């Protein structure tokens, strides 16, 4: 599992209902659980699977795939893995696929062989365009900080925090921003990372991302996390 896959897994495993912020047509009162099941046969693990907590036929199962780089075999593999999940779980009736990627045009080659699947089942969440779109969901813009230039990162992070200020999503947004900054800049001093995100050291240290990632690193004795502690 790549670093970006682990990040997305953490973001959604912590709060599965965040998928509602990225799928505006789902009912706002829907609730989902999240996992990353291993598909049999080739032992491939899905990046994520959102399962409605209530037994409601109108609420779809959502398959999440994160593809952060070019891959000529991605579309066919996505089709095959989706079909394999349906084969292994015959309780699934309504479903969709959500792909998180920098942009849709990433050298995925000719989609003709799987065109109907792509057109009817796949929804694309493009991170690069979201950086420049103030109307994009704050969660999507937060995830897009993975791609933001270091020079522009403080301004973009400030825009995102302003957009969610005073809303129920404010604390969760800080968690996501903190996780992304820690993923991208794990070797930097913690005050420097806080400054990039415009987050106070107190808020940063109280974030779920910091408590889990920093705490785990300290328990495992990883020196990179210990350096953060000594520089605060």
Concatenated DSSP letters for 201-220?
HHHHHHSHHHHHHHHHHHHH
Q: What's the distance, CA 199 to chain centroid?
A: 20
**38: helix, strand or coil:** strand
Q: What is the pLDDT of residue 214?
A: 61
Say what the pTM is. Answer: 0.80
- State the chain's mean pLDDT as an integer: 85
pLDDT at 128 over 90: yes
pLDDT at 56 over 90: no
CA distances from 177 to 7, 81, 156, 190 (A): 11, 30, 11, 14
Q: What is the pLDDT of residue 33?
A: 93
pLDDT at 144 over 50: yes
pLDDT at 201 over 60: yes
Comparing 90-104, 146-160, 175-189, the range with the smallest average pLDDT is 175-189
Q: What is the pLDDT of residue 60?
A: 94
Comparing 27-36, 84-93, 208-217, the range with the smallest average pLDDT is 208-217
Looking up tokens 């050291």 gives 201
What's the mean pLDDT in 79-106? 92
Domain extent listing, the chain = 1-147, 149-232
Q: What is the pLDDT of residue 224?
A: 40
Tens digits of residue pLDDT in 13-52: 989 999 999 999 998 899 999 998 876 656 677 899 999 9
What distance in Å separates the CA atoms of residue 15 and residue 183, rounded to the nearest whole number? 18
Tens digits of residue pLDDT in 93-123: 999 999 999 998 887 878 899 999 999 999 9
Confidence at 219, pLDDT banded by 50, 70, 90: very low
- Close Cβ partners of 135 (under 8 Å, ≥ 6 residues apart): none
* Angle between helix 170-184 and helix 190-197 axes, rounded to 10 deg: 130
Residues of the chain with pLDDT > 70: what percent?
89
């Amino acid at each position: 599992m790549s670093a970006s896959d682990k990040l997305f897994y953490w973001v959604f495993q912590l709060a599965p209902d965040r998928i509602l912020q990225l799928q505006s047509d789902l009912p706002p009162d829907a609730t989902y659980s999240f996992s990353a099941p291993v598909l049999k046969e080739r032992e491939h693990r899905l990046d994520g699977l959102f399962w409605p907590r209530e037994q409601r036929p109108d609420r779809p199962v959502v398959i999440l795939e994160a593809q952060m780089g070019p891959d000529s075999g991605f579309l066919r593999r996505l089709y095959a893995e989706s079909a394999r999940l349906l084969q292994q779980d015959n309780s699934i009736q309504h479903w969709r696929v959500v792909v998180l990627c920098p942009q849709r045009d990433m050298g995925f080659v000719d989609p003709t062989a799987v065109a109907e699947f792509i057109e009817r089942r796949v929804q694309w969440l493009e991170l690069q365009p979201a950086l420049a779109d103030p109307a994009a969901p704050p969660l999507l813009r937060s995830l897009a900080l993975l791609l933001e230039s270091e020079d522009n990162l403080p301004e973009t992070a400030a825009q995102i925090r302003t957009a969610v200020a005073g809303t129920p999503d404010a604390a969760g947004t800080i968690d996501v921003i903190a996780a992304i900054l820690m993923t991208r800049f794990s070797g930097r001093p913690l005050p420097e990372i806080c400054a990039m995100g415009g987050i106070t050291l107190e808020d940063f240290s109280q974030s779920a991302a910091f408590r889990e990632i920093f705490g785990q690193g300290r328990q495992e004795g990883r020196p990179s996390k210990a350096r953060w502690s000594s520089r605060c």
